[in-house]
Chain A
Amino acid sequence: MTTTPSEQGVSLGMPQLPAPDYPDDVRARLEADAREIIGRYPDSRSALLPLLHLVQSEEGYVTRTGMRFCADMLGLTTAEVTAVATFYTMYRRKPSGDYQVGVCTNTLCAVMGGDAIFSALQEHLGVGNGETTGDGKVTLEHIECNAACDFAPVVMVNWEFFDNQTVESARRLVDDLRAGAEVRPTRGAPLCTYKETARILAGFPDPRPGAVDASGSAGPASLIGLRLAKGEQPEPRIVHPRGEEIRGAAPQDEPPAEHRSSHDAPQKTSASDPAHPAGPVTEEGE
């Protein structure tokens, strides 16, 4: 899985050549970062997961060069590093897009509309699970429960929360990402690229002013119980009462305010039920 296409033809039992080094300047920069990371732990090997995030922030995915760098820094073999890198799903093993769009299709989100959203995005973008659009902008995948079930259905972009999505809002979201418009998550900071996100995951705080504060203290669902305890009534959300006039505040399901940049273009009035499989998602190899 770590061979490059040109090497795949070799079948003489030759061992794979060592991965090439980073250019000197890149290596020097990464080494300084790596030493800082290693310094956080009593035992250097604990730095391996953040180091893999670090090399991912350099190249957008974990390359053989990146794994060799980790091994060098920690005194491990590349086999030991590869064993770890292939265990965790957040490490990409092939070049991917600037924006990783993950649709939660674990049971609750799937039932609430995640399956329909994932299916619609595959069709809209013309890519399957784990694939990247031709412009290199968006990698689409389905993800597991992301601890936001009270905001279902949830879509994550570069691991920022896009809550209470619909098929339409998700289509607009990926269109905006591909058009280069500024996109703000429901909870989280204005999107940065996947590489920049990986650097935060390596333990380097987001340097952008205001990023930590962005999107307020808590999402609406997080505050529901608190508001009730204070004697306030919850606002209606998600669905209109069937056959009744809408009372109180407007429901929040339709065009989310967060994509302000969007949308001069006429919005699609969607078909009632976009084709989607009722069955399990099977793209992933077993």
Chain B
Amino acid sequence: MTVSTEFGGTSRPEAGGESSPEKLLAPVLSAFWDEDRSWTLEGYRRHEGYEGLRKALAMSPDDVIAYVKEAGLRGRGGAGFPTGMKWQFIPQGDGKPHYLVVNADESEPGTCKDIPLLFANPHALIEGIVIACHAIRSEHAFIYLRGEVVPVLRRLHEAVREAYAAGYLGKNVLGSGLNLELTVHAGAGAYICGEETALLDSLEGRRGQPRLRPPFPAVAGLYACPTVVNNVESIASVPAILHKGKEWFRSMGSEKSPGFTLYSLSGHVANPGQYEAPLGITLRQLLEMSGGMRPGHRLKFWTPGGSSTPMLTEEHLDVPLDYEGVGAAGSMLGTKALQCFDETTCVVRAVTRWTEFYAHESCGKCTPCREGTYWLVQLLRDIEAGKGAMSDLDKLADIADNINGKSFCALGDGAASPIFSSLKYFREEYAQHITGGGCPFDPAKSTAWADHRTEVNA
């Protein structure tokens, strides 16, 4: 059952079969990234850019919300909440300004979809923003982009300038009466700002710390006004739905997880990269079409959607990568960041590093997360160095249990995920570190150049 992960580029499936990439993949947002200057307004218009907006502006705001709801689009940032429903929660006629805030703070370890999307096709996001603002009756939208990606910031600045010049932003958008300002805001380095209420505090010029809910952002968000916070990919998917129709969108994926999405394959695979496909494709299918794991190695563990989603193993290769499928396998679809690690990788090292990340990024607001992640790191470092005791394994699980569900925001739950899941599948490997007095793995063997070096220096 697991043999087929060892393709190593030598036994690619024949093109044209059941598993041919042409049939399994569905490039929509990525359909023209290989063209020259795909990121410009001109490049976007060559591919029917801003046509969805024209349709949306001809509809009433409520009809747009209903349409996106019926299409079944769910949030692509991790939680999978229906996008149209989020829009519907915005109270109407309340006399307050409404805001749309796009979460472009892509920082979840392993996640790398929004950044290439914004680099190659920023206008898909801008068009989606205009449609969404029409729907929720907002006159000011923000893109909160993490600061550490200046090439993307550069293109967003230029794309927004182009959109203003072309009349897609500003006063009376395309003669519709909609007035819309769009501000690109660069963050300053804090993973926690990907959490929507921390993001709002950060956008208000404060330390990025999550807020207690309720009230939810739909009622009291940015400047205590009704606010929708959506992920980049969610909003960027809206124009295609409007342009090509909800039936087209629903023809992909499943009943509860319709549509297309970006899967990001990374790690010890022959061909890491972006694969845009209908929801529900499996990791096995993605590996089969892309050349499998790197030659001569086999899959050991992987994350379905970033480090905060419980890790899976070879036995989960056939899990449909949609919200329900991954949920049923005991994990979460998350951001569809498929980080694949082969048998050369030490699970304890991987989990230790992730946990150090969570400890570093914990905002410090709540005790379970601030203290818990700190102590997890201490225990894990000891175990990795061979200085742990067997009782530490139960202690790890106990501390993780005291973070999970008991912290202020989902960062704490995320920190507990790798602990629980790695103990579930690889407890033996932890024990090996303890009884064997250290790590049995050679980190040199897991590097990207490991096999190359072996060959050269042999």
Interface residues of A (CB under 8 A from B): 40-43, 45-50, 52-53, 74, 83-84, 87-91, 102, 105-108, 110-113, 115-116, 143-153, 156, 158-161, 164, 166, 185, 187-189, 197, 200-203, 205-206, 211-213, 215-231, 233-234, 236-244, 251, 253, 272-273, 276, 278-282, 284, 286
Known: A50-B185, A90-B147, A278-B349. A111 touches B341 (CB 8 A): yes
Alpha-carbon distance between A89 and B354 when the two chains are bound, in angstroms: 18
- 27 CB < 8 A contacts A-B: A84-B206, A90-B187, A108-B110, A108-B341, A111-B345, A111-B446, A144-B191, A145-B110, A146-B149, A147-B149, A217-B33, A218-B33, A221-B274, A224-B290, A225-B25, A225-B30, A225-B274, A225-B276, A225-B277, A226-B31, A226-B276, A227-B34, A234-B271, A240-B455, A241-B8, A272-B444, A280-B381
Contact partners of B274 in chain A: CB under 8 A = 150, 221-226
Known: A41-B183, A89-B190, A147-B107. A113 touches B448 (CB 8 A): yes
Alpha-carbon distance between A233 and B38 when the two chains are bound, in angstroms: 22
Alpha-carbon distance between A250 and B97 when the two chains are bound, in angstroms: 56
CB distance A112 to B184 under 8 Å? no
CB distance B116 to A219 under 8 Å? yes
Contact partners of A242 in chain B: CB under 8 A = 295-296, 451, 454-455
CB distance A84 to B205 under 8 Å? yes
Contact partners of A40 in chain B: CB under 8 A = 183
CB distance A152 to B266 under 8 Å? yes
- Interface stretch among B73-81, B84-92, B315-323, B355-363? B355-363
Closest to B458 in A: A272
Contact partners of A276 in chain B: CB under 8 A = 443
Q: Does B279 contact A (CB under 8 A)?
A: no
With A41-B183, A150-B274 already in contact, 19 other A-B pairs whose C-beta atoms are closer than 8 Å: A43-B223, A53-B188, A83-B207, A107-B109, A107-B350, A143-B148, A144-B107, A148-B112, A151-B272, A152-B267, A201-B153, A219-B116, A222-B30, A231-B15, A231-B21, A231-B22, A234-B270, A278-B384, A282-B381
Alpha-carbon distance between A216 and B346 when the two chains are bound, in angstroms: 37
- Count of CB-CB pairs between chains A and B under 8 Å: 335
Q: Does B391 contact A (CB under 8 A)?
A: no
Closest to B191 in A: A144
Contact of A150 among B26, B97, B272, B450 (CB under 8 A): B272
Alpha-carbon distance between A54 and B263 when the two chains are bound, in angstroms: 36
Alpha-carbon distance between A239 and B36 when the two chains are bound, in angstroms: 28
Q: Which secondary structure dominates chain A's binding surface? A: loop
CB distance B207 to A49 under 8 Å? no
CB distance B353 to A105 under 8 Å? yes
The number of chain B residues touching the other chain, given as a range, is 35 or more
Contact of A229 among B27, B295, B384 (CB under 8 A): B27
CB distance B185 to A49 under 8 Å? yes
Alpha-carbon distance between A25 and B389 when the two chains are bound, in angstroms: 63
Contact partners of B264 in chain A: CB under 8 A = 149-150
Alpha-carbon distance between A197 and B148 when the two chains are bound, in angstroms: 10
Alpha-carbon distance between A201 and B144 when the two chains are bound, in angstroms: 12
Q: Which of B36, B377, B449 has the most CB of A within 10 A?
A: B449
Contact partners of B205 in chain A: CB under 8 A = 43, 45-49, 74, 84
Alpha-carbon distance between A221 and B266 when the two chains are bound, in angstroms: 10
Closest to A51 in B: B205
Closest to A167 in B: B449
CB distance B34 to A226 under 8 Å? yes
CB distance B151 to A222 under 8 Å? no
Closest to B105 in A: A147
CB distance B147 to A201 under 8 Å? yes
Contact partners of B377 in chain A: CB under 8 A = 280
Contact of B147 among A53, A111, A144 (CB under 8 A): A53
Q: How far apart are A8's CB and chain B's nearest CB, in angstroms?
A: 26
Q: Does B447 contact A (CB under 8 A)?
A: yes
CB distance B120 to A239 under 8 Å? no
- Interface stretch among B154-162, B171-179, B404-412? B154-162
Alpha-carbon distance between A91 and B290 when the two chains are bound, in angstroms: 40
Contact partners of B307 in chain A: CB under 8 A = 107
Contact partners of A88 in chain B: CB under 8 A = 187-190, 208
The 8 A-B pairs with the shortest beta carbon distances in the complex, nearest first, are: A224-B273, A48-B205, A225-B275, A88-B188, A188-B151, A221-B273, A90-B189, A89-B189
**Within B40-73, which residues are at the interface with A (CB < 8 Å)?**
43
Q: Which of A151, A156, A202, A238 has the most CB of B within 10 A?
A: A238
Contact partners of B266 in chain A: CB under 8 A = 108, 149-150, 152
